[in-house]
Structure formats: C-alpha cells, structure tokens
Amino acid sequence: MKFLSALCACSLVLLAGCAGSKGSVDGDAGAKAPSTECPENESFYGSGLAGSYQTALMLAQRGIASSLDSAVKAGVDTLGRIARDDELEKFSLVAQAQFLSRIENPENVGIDTVEEISGKFTVRACMARVNAAIPFRGKMAALRDSVGLLAAEVSAQEGPLEKHAAYKALRNVYARTLALQRILAALGAERDASPDSAYVKASREFSMYRAAYAFVFKKVAHESDTPQSERLYALAYARMAKDYPVRQATCGNALSVEMDVYPVTCDTSSFGMVCNAGITLKGSTCKGDSLFVLQSNVNAQGADEPEAMERLGTAVSEGVWYDEWRKDLNKWSLK
C-alpha cells in the first residue's frame, strides 16, 4: 500500500508506544499504549508476524494502511457522486487518491499487543478512526480559506487569461475540498454537503463573463483594397468563426482582434503565375493594450492569374498556415 513508506518511517517513534508482550522484546517495545487510543469498533488494525520486531511492526503498519484505505474507498463508493459537473468530479477523485496516498499523522498510530513466541514476533498495531480524520480536518480548514481568497481573485482580475487562470486555480482547490468531504464522511465525520458560497458566487460570475466573452473583429482597410483581398478576408474570417466566438460589434467584455489582409500580389514564374497574400491578426484589450500579433504569408500557383487566385482562396480557407494561429488562439478562447 502507498501508506507503507510513511508508516515505516515512523517505526522508531512507534516503538515508544508499544504494548506489553507475552514474550520479551528489546528496548521500550513492551510499553503499553493507552487503550483509549484504539477503541473497539472505532479503529483500524493491522497485524504482522516475522522473525524480527521491526519487520513484524512494518507488516502491522501495512495492515493498518490497507484497512484505512479500504474503509475510505468503501465509504466513498457508498456516498457516490459529489460534484455536479463531470470535470469537477474527476478533479475531486484525483485529489482523493492523492490525500489517501500516505498517513500524515503517524504519531497517532498505537501498538495494541506485542508477542514473542519461539523467536517469532507478532505485532498488532492500531489507529482510532477519529485520529485518522485529524489531518483531513486540518486540510479542509486551510483549503476553505484558499477557496475564499481565490474566489476574490477571480473577481479582481480583468484580463481574460488572468481571470481564466484564477478560475481554474479556484476549481482545483474546490475539487480538493470535495475530496476531503468524501473522506471525512467515510471516516464518520459529519458531512457538510452545502456548496461553498464563495465558490458558487465566483463560478456564476465567471460563467457570465465567459458567456459574454468573444473575439470582436475589425478589418484594417486599405485604399488599395480589391475584390480579391476582400474575398480573402471573408474566407479567413469565416475560418476563425468556426472555431472561436467571433462577432463584429462594439468591444465590451471581449478580445479585440484586427485582421489585415494585405493587397494581393501576383507574379509570373517559370511554372505559371504565383499569387501571394499577407494576413496579420492583432489582439488587444478593449482598452487598446496590445496582447499578441500573428502573421502568415499565403501563396498559391496556377497556370494563369485567375487559377492562381482561385487556389489562393482555397489556401486561405484550408491551408496549414492557420494551424499555427490556432495554437495561440486556443488559449484566448477560455475553454
């Protein structure tokens, strides 16, 4: 079990709390631990039998770890789903596994009995259920404080990336509180099933922010614009509109993007006619603060200019140039 490494590390500490034995054990291993540490039916036990006391103790600790892990998982299976959305539920289950990976309060593990018979040691160790819950209660208090602080951070941030990052951090911490709710309930602690009000408020606020968020488009006009460049702009705009929340409107709660399609140039070559178009996308806040600049050159070849222009349109609407843009734009979509 994953608890083993943590439990083994506390072996020397536990020796001081060992119970009396029917045989003889070196050092303080025979010191009886108070019976109140491990009340019957409210404790986790583990036993170990080996040729040395230390090995028997290690096996007993492994048994406690196994009992605790099984009890929590059984209780969690009974409680079932705790989060409404799938992603948050997944996060909480990952956090739960992390919390159960080791025992963080080995000082609360006691020794019930120690026996030595014919050179073999039998050690029975225990941990009270109420003691098993101690580290989880402490973590819950700290994480709930963090939820409040992160919820305030979501409200305070104005930039889309910063607000999104704050919200993701809030969800991760809140998922950990859900995991602790499951564990504490499985250990017999009273379950607080009410959602955290700070999280609910921040989550609602961010949902409204994201619903109104969009890429607001502006076209950079040139005196030398031609029907060909206008067509290429329309094709590039349509391509982005398939992937992102784009609109042509007044910038409010949005990302302002300006698209510039430079006038097309066509030149003859040994293979016919080659037409080129430069496309630039500038992103900024609605206040005008620059955020990013993306630029690509798209070209196509044809037997003559009409064929080259037709192929240039296809390259704008289907070409690989857009794949590089998508890598940068994805982070601005707040998904």
- CATH code at position 113: 3.10.28.20
Domain co-membership, 207 together with 148: yes
Cβ-defined contacts of 163-166 (< 8 Å, 24+) = 163/206, 163/209, 164/206, 164/334
Residue 48's Cβ-side half-sphere holds a number of Cα atoms within 13 Å equal to 22
Burial 206-230 (b: 16+ CB within 10 A, else e): beebbeebbbbbeeeeeeebeebbe
pLDDT in tens, the chain (335 residues): 433 334 333 333 333 333 333 333 443 344 333 333 788 778 888 899 999 988 998 888 788 878 877 887 776 666 665 666 777 777 787 887 777 766 778 788 888 889 999 999 999 988 888 888 888 888 988 998 999 999 999 999 988 889 999 999 999 999 888 888 888 888 877 666 566 789 999 999 999 988 888 888 888 887 777 888 888 989 998 988 888 888 877 777 778 889 988 878 899 888 889 999 999 999 988 888 889 999 999 999 999 999 999 999 999 999 889 998 998 899 888 87
- What pLDDT score was predicted for residue 166? 95
Same domain, residue pair 254 and 199: no
Specify if 91 maps to a domain.
no
Give the 3-state secondary structure of residue 166. helix
232 falls within a domain: yes
Q: Which pLDDT score is estimated for 65?
A: 79
Instruction: Give the span between the Cα atoms of 124 and 215, in whole angstroms.
Output: 65
**Pair (206, 224) in one structural domain:** no
Distance CA 258, CA 261 (A): 10
Helix (H, G, I), strand (E, B) or coil at 295: strand
Amino acid 287: pLDDT: 83
77 and 145 share one domain: no
**What residues contact 233, with CB distance under 8 A and at least 6 apart?**
219, 259, 261
Domain closes at, from 178, 212, 246 = 212
Note whether 31 and 17 are same-domain residues.
yes
Give the CA distances from residue 227 to residues 248, 262, 289, in Å, rounded to whole numbers and listed in that order.
20, 12, 31
Residues 197 and 254 in one domain: no
Query: Total domain count for the chain?
Result: 3
Do 9 and 44 lie in one domain? The reply is: yes
Domain that residue 206 falls in: 135-212
Beta-strand relationship, 246-247 and 215-219: parallel
User: Which tokens is 72 given?
Assistant: 């929590």
Tell whether 92 is covered by a domain.
Answer: no
- E strand residue ranges, the chain: 43-50, 110-117, 120-128, 215-219, 246-247, 255-261, 265-269, 272-284, 290-302
Q: How many residues does the chain have?
A: 335
170 plus 229 within the same structural domain: no
- In a domain, residue 260? The reply is yes
Q: Which residues pair with 47 in a beta bridge?
A: 124
Full-model pTM = 0.69
* 60 lies in the same domain as 155: no
Of 277, 279, 271, 278, nearest to 310 by C-alpha is 277
Q: What CATH number did the domain enclosing 225 receive?
A: 3.30.160.670
- Cβ pair 10, 109 in contact under 8 A: yes
If asked whether residues 166 and 241 sit together in one domain, one would say no
**Tokens, residue 306:** 């009409």
Pairing, β 215-219 against β 255-261? parallel
Query: Residues near 12 by Cβ (< 8 Å), separated by ≥ 6?
Result: none
What six digits make up the tokens of 140?
């819950």
pLDDT at site 12? 33
> Nearest-CA neighbor of 83 among 94, 75, 73?
94
Q: Are residues 191 and 230 in the same domain?
A: no
